[in-house]
Amino acid sequence: VVTNPTVACVLLQLLLLICQHSPSSAGAIYNSPGLLDCLQSKYIQGGAAGASSGEGGNDGGGVTRTKEAAERRGGGVVYIRCGPECRTRILVMRLLRLLSLMSRDMCLSLHNVGIFESAKQHLLLPFSSGSH
């Protein structure tokens, strides 16, 4: 397990490049022993569990929400500055998406495990706009 988020980003980008090469290389990544379990426990379930949304603050995953930027745009869009830990979770989501696009069997298997539902949880954090 890689503890440095920057190194994890580089490794995930490498996995994405390999996965994009062909369906057989995506299958090799999918069938890697313990890889998906590690990604799910470290970056999906572990990342979503400790997240708390604060007003204009950091949610624990390297995401900084800027309330002022949202207000400038009419409150409809929230700008997010993403740190390395958040970037790793985004790359894990991209990897899961790419694996699901490569094979119907992989997609159904990932869906049946519930990895997509748990992965979506950290993307749906509420934004507290405070009092106006």
125 DSSP assignment: -
Task: Tell me the percentage of the chain whose pLDDT exceeds 70.
Answer: 64
Q: How confident is the model at residue 24 (pLDDT cuts 50, 70, 90)?
A: very high
Query: What pLDDT, on the 0 to 100 scale, is given for residue 59?
Result: 43
Could you read off the pLDDT of 55-76 as tens digits, one per residue? 334 444 444 545 565 566 565 5
Query: What pLDDT, on the 0 to 100 scale, is given for residue 40?
Result: 84
Nearest by Cα to 127 from 62, 80, 88, 74: 80
112 vs 47, residue with greater confidence: 112
Locate 43 and state its tokens.
Answer: 């970056």
Beta bridge partners of 80: 65
From CA 89, how far away is CA 121, in angstroms rounded?
11
Work out the average pLDDT over 97-116: 89
Query: What pLDDT, on the 0 to 100 scale, is given for residue 87?
Result: 84
Query: What pLDDT, on the 0 to 100 scale, is given for residue 28?
Result: 93
Beta bridge partners of 65: 80
Query: 3-state class of 127 per DSSP?
Result: coil
Work out the average pLDDT over 105-117: 87
Query: What pLDDT, on the 0 to 100 scale, is given for residue 89?
Result: 83
Residue by residue, DSSP assigns 10-78 as HHHHHHHHHHHH-HHHHHHHHTSTTHHHHHIIIIIIHHHHT----TTSB-SSSEEEEHHHHHHTTTS--
Q: How confident is the model at residue 13 (pLDDT cuts 50, 70, 90)?
A: very high
Looking at residue 15, its amino acid is: L
